[in-house]
Amino acid sequence: MKTLALYILVLGAGLVTALTSSSTEENTSHYAQLPTIALGTPSEISTASIEVEPIGHAKESLRYKKQYHIYYENRSTEAIEVAIRYKAYNGEWNTTGLLTLSPGEKKLMGLSDQKTYYSYAETKRRWKKKTWRGAHKFALTEDSANKKAFKKQEIWECYDSRMCNTFAVFK
């Protein structure tokens, strides 16, 4: 069975190659001719339009920062209240919460350039309250004396060089 699959794969690849090479030769007459471009002398070129690439430390400071998108997902059977603490792009720590997530709901809670964030969640019911918490105490607002115990979370590195998504799932 494996030998038959290999023969079919090789035959298919050869057939695709043959068809694409013959079709490109036939369609070359359908391309439009581009007009010629007159080149100027170096004295006619404006230096204002030339972009200079920074070198060394200046180049490193202009590099983009990787984005980490932090999502919360409520997989429990009841509504929960969630909070997040993360470092924003401007370098300040943001705390958002308590927001209500319905059962099955997903929500983008924060965008950061850091892999560490803190999460807190609790059920909305008053009796038999379930909480997802940790050992790091933060206030939900600046003027609040009431602090919640947030759990430290680390985002796993992904292969994308620009952004990673992470889900904090509450069951």
Q: Which residues contact 154 (CB under 8 A, 6 or more apart)?
A: 115, 116
**pLDDT at residue 131, rounded to an integer:** 84
Burial label for 67, CB within 10 Å (0-12, 13-18, 19+), is middle
Whether 122 and 81 have beta carbons less than 8 Å apart is answered as yes
**pLDDT at residue 55, rounded to an integer:** 45
**pLDDT at residue 49, rounded to an integer:** 44
**pLDDT at residue 80, rounded to an integer:** 92
**For tokens 């607002």, what's the residue?**
141
Whether 163 and 66 have beta carbons less than 8 Å apart is answered as yes
**Model's pTM, two decimal places?**
0.57
Q: How far out from the chain centre does Cα 47 lie?
A: 37
Q: Which residues contact 81 (CB under 8 A, 6 or more apart)?
A: 97, 98, 99, 100, 101, 121, 122, 123, 124
CATH class, range 67-170: mainly beta
d(CA 141, CA 101): 19
Whether 168 and 155 have beta carbons less than 8 Å apart is answered as no
Task: Delimit the domains of the chain by residue range.
Answer: 67-170
Question: Hey, what are 69's tokens?
Answer: 């998108």
Residue-level pLDDT, tens digit, the chain, 171 residues:
667 666 677 677 766 676 665 544 444 455 556 566 555 555 554 444 444 444 444 444 445 678 888 888 988 888 999 999 999 888 899 998 889 999 999 999 988 888 899 999 998 877 778 888 888 988 888 778 788 899 999 888 777 667 677 776 676
